[in-house]
Amino acid sequence: MKVAVVGVTGLVGKIMIERLEQRNFNVSGLIPIASERSQGEYVSFKNKKFPVVGIEDGLSLKPELALFSAGADIAKDWVPKFKKSNCVVIDNSAAWRMDKNVPLIVPEINADVLTKDDKIIANPNCSTIQMVMALAPLHQKYKIARLIISTYQSVSGSGYKGAAQLADERQGKKNSDAYPFPIFMNVIPQCDDFEDNGYTKEEMKLVDETRKILRTDKLRITATAVRVPVLIGHSESVNVEFENDYDLEDVIKVLKETEGIQVMNNGVHPMPLLVKESDKVCVGRIRRDESNPNSLNLWIVADNLRKGAATNTIQIAEYLVQKGWIGAGSKD
């Protein structure tokens, strides 16, 4: 099928192209879309080169599937236009995630909510995806009552600007394009802008998106999101309180048997260096919280550009193909 990648020259867009090729996704024609400054460039895919076009020209080429990674403002403006042209859109921004009519999908967890009529599908936030991958099977078995989350998020979560600021500061150059404070040799307890309640947008994404994916409005969640001087890989310390007591060995067994999870609980811990270019969500430091009944501590690490963004998007598309809703011979 014709596949458009919107935001193709960004960090996530480039990895979307790589993963489409590596996972042998059925692309008959690639439509790379980016802003004006990238036009004239070419994108390599399966030993062919495709010219980067503007979004209006890309829409006129009538893709059947569009993978968006271009920010919320562009998604709000253009996703409905792609939908109107009978294109299925999977959007990686925050624009549509909390729309009650738009499914928010991690395929291993809640692909069952998708239908053939869904033309806009939201990809969750990177920090949410890796966390719910570990929490969903535990919630299903033990019912989670409360979550206390602390994240340690890499600069690639801020795109090229975050990566450039860290690189420049390492070389002694001043750069505040991504963050108002230095990130090299520092941690910044602020990811995204602050809301009126004193929490950042990133922290509220963890609250709202987790509830939507796990299908429970009653789940009590509080979060603190922190930016750290790491290039790729988000880490999370998650304190889980269940409704009732649990068996620790069974928790470990459940996680080991969960698709997409790698348990690292013996000496070698999940770390950003170990997850780079992996689609696995690594879980370690699994231990009982001895200060509170029915509670558990987890350490969760994943490549935020892969499973946290590009790979999850493509897995959603693969599910749609598998169901026969897009692609050759799709069921209208």
pLDDT at site 145: 98
126 carries an active-site annotation: yes
The sheet carrying 88-91 orders its strands as 29-33, 2-6, 65-68, 88-91, 120-122
Is residue 299 one of the residues assigned to a domain?
yes
Residue 329: predicted pLDDT? 55
Half-sphere exposure of 42 (CA within 13 A, CB side): 7
Q: Do both 139 and 194 map to the same domain?
A: yes
What is residue 66's predicted lDDT score, i.e. its pLDDT? 98
Q: Which of 178, 222, 229, 182 is nearest to 203 (CA)?
A: 222
Determine which one of 126, 139, 191, 282 is catalytic. 126
- 91 and 223 share one domain: no
Same structural domain, 201 and 58: no
Based on the domain organization, do 181 and 315 belong to the same domain? no
User: Tell me, what's the pLDDT at 159?
Assistant: 95
Give the pLDDT score at 162. Answer: 97
Rounded CA-CA distance 123/252 in Å is 27
Judge if 13 and 155 occupy the same domain.
no
Same domain membership, residue 230 and residue 141 = yes
CB 148 within 8 A of CB 224: no
Known catalytic residue: 234?
Answer: yes
**Is 257 in the same domain as 217?**
yes
CATH of the domain at 146: 3.30.360.10
Residue 3, strand partner residues: 30, 65
Instruction: Quote the pLDDT of residue 174.
Output: 96
Judged by DSSP in three states, 269 sits in coil
152 and 290 together in one domain: yes
The answer to the question of residue 287 being in a domain is: yes
Catalytic residue among 87, 191, 234, 282: 234
Range of the domain at 94: 2-124+309-322
Q: What is the pLDDT of residue 36?
A: 86
What parts of the chain have a pLDDT lower than 50? 332
Q: Are residues 166 and 293 in the same domain?
A: yes
Residue 132 in domain: yes
Give pLDDT, residue 266: 83
Query: pLDDT at position 331, please?
Result: 54
Q: Is 72 in the same domain as 170? A: no
Number of domains in the chain: 2
